[in-house]
């Protein structure tokens, strides 16, 4: 019996991750400029709820990137971010968006809480991924002077 090995990411996976990162940053940028939940939906809902192995793998990659970005924001800002972020979302995007975002706010709390958000994937459906974009937009609005470049710098990207 041989052990299966996990293949290290190669150029194709790196290119996919970079494209996903660009989409996330675009969604955050447009969420801030439009003050609407729709950019998050428009840019990321297509990645939610796939049925094929490839679709599920892509959704997982998007989820992991979003969690990493939220965690980086938490580490940068420090302190309790959740209530301020959810208040911003409620005021700017609506109460329903804030209620949905609460389920995926774990990365803003700590690593253990971040691992729990996947439980809400099915219940939030197409708003699972956008709910994390809304949180990133809120963090940028509250701590990055509304400039998405602040976020890009925190997650090791330039734009």
Whether the CA torsion 135, 98, 51, 27 is positive or negative: it is negative
Residue 139 confidence (pLDDT): 98
Task: Give 119-155 pLDDT, tens digit per residue.
Answer: 999 999 999 999 999 999 999 999 999 999 999 998 8
Residue 45 confidence (pLDDT): 79
Chain position carrying tokens 């991750």: 17
pLDDT above 90 as % of the chain: 74
């Amino acid at each position: 019996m041989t052990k299966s090995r996990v293949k290290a990411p190669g150029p194709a996976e790196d290119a996919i991750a970079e494209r996903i990162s660009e989409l996330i940053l675009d969604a955050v940028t447009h969420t801030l400029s439009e003050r609407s939940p729709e950019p998050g939906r428009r840019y990321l809902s297509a990645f939610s709820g796939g049925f094929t192995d490839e679709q599920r793998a892509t959704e997982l990659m998007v989820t992991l990137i979003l969690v990493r970005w939220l965690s980086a924001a938490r580490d940068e800002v420090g302190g309790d971010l959740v209530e301020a972020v959810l208040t911003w979302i409620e005021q700017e995007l609506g109460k329903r968006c804030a209620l949905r975002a609460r389920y995926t706010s774990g990365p803003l709390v700590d690593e253990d809480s971040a691992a729990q958000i996947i439980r809400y994937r099915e219940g939030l459906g197409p708003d699972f991924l956008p709910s994390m974009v809304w949180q990133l937009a809120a963090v940028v609005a509250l701590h990055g002077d509304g400039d998405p470049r602040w976020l890009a710098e925190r997650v090791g990207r330039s734009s």
